[in-house]
Amino acid sequence: MTGPPPSPPPGPPPDQFPAPWASDWGEDPFGLWQAFTYKGARQGFRWIPPTPEPFLMGSPEGEHGRSSDERRHPVLLTRGFWLADTACTQALWQAVMGGNPSDFKGERRPVENVSWDDVQGFIERLDAELAAFAGRRATRRLGGVDADQASDQHLRLPTEAQWEYACRAGTTGPFSFGDDLSPEQANYNGNYPYRGDRKGLYREETLDVASLPPNPWGLYEMHGNVWEWCSDWYGDYPSGPATDPVGPDSGEWRVLRGGSWANVAQGLRSAYRGRLGPGNRNRDYGFRLALGPEPRPAGQAGQPGRERGRTARAGSER
């Protein structure tokens, strides 16, 4: 990276660090990180604390390429979470699921050609493995956390609000890199640059994760490479402030964020919202894991289970 040193996300540290399942961990200029290693496949995570004050989700009316569903509104996230520093790799998917559905093969490339429904099966299987390991590790720790505390940390998809907060990394412009984007910062269709500027490289395929510069909080390829599924059903934003939003209770489409190698630059903006039926697969759809307590709307008690969506209808834009 060029410019001043990165600043870690503001806010309190996690209650438990490192987690019982962590294979390695530490702190660097981007903040706290930890990783697990499953059957030789490693996945790193970055700590994203609760928002110290509401951040502005969506885009201002004057932003180039803005869509009508990006109403700008303040959002407060009261609970911190861990977010994978890269999209899920083919190596990790294959270690968990035993196969590889991706078109662009490579262990360090993001897994693609996976639906929202497919991802739920992957998460359930890997989450059970990590929970069992965490429980075993916790019982052996003198003065450490107990198994119940360890099991409160669940693998899942990030909510749409969590994804945008982490993508923006404290920025307010169209991209976490500033007011413009280049193929040296993100993998997209360089024939269609932002604002109609000079054309750039169009790779026509995915890249290995962590091939391009991270955003200011150490997260790689939040713009481009593969679309990333979020947990939310797609719906209209609220007209006023929101606290810990999780999206509508039901719907036709699930949210996708970040754009892909095949998209035009304006589709990679921090605020841009893709949507697709949860059964759809394509070679530019992947995902990024989150880890923490199950998200729930502010003031709602309990831990809601993962909801299954079965409707299949394409709705995201290229």
Give the predicted TM-score (pTM) of the model: 0.90
CA atoms within 13 A on the CB side of 182: 3
- Confidence grade of residue 136 (pLDDT, cut at 50, 70, 90): low
Contact 31, 239 (CB under 8 A): no
| 118 pLDDT tier (thresholds 50, 70, 90) | very high
Please give the Cα distance from 76 to 52 (Å, whole number).
8
Output the average pLDDT for the chain. Answer: 89
Mean pLDDT, residues 274-302 taken together: 86
Length reported for the chain: 318
Cβ(228)–Cβ(111) below 8 Å: no
CB–CB of 125/96 below 8 Å? yes
Which of 282, 294, 245, 278 minimizes the C-alpha distance to 121? 278
Nearest-angstrom CA–CA distance, 180 and 296: 34
Query: In the sheet where 73-76 sits, what is the strand order?
Result: 55-57, 73-76, 242-243
Q: Show the CA angle centred on residue 14, arms to residues 248 and 152, nearest 5°.
A: 55
Model confidence at 299, pLDDT cuts 50, 70, 90, reads low
Q: What is the pLDDT of residue 293?
A: 86
- Gap between the Cα atoms of 5 and 67, Å rounded: 33
The C-alpha atoms of residue 163 and residue 274 are separated, in whole angstroms, by 13
Q: Which strands, in side-by-side order, build the sheet including 290-292?
A: 24-28, 31-38, 41-48, 81-84, 290-292, 154-156
Integer angstrom CA distances of residue 49 from 13, 34, 81:
7, 14, 6
pLDDT at residue 3 in the model: 67
Strand-by-strand arrangement of the 285-287 sheet: 273-276, 254-257, 227-233, 285-287
pLDDT confidence of residue 193: 96
Q: What is the pLDDT of residues 200-258, one digit of tens each?
A: 999 999 999 999 999 999 999 999 999 999 999 999 999 999 999 999 999 999 999 99
What is residue 298's predicted lDDT score, i.e. its pLDDT?
A: 65
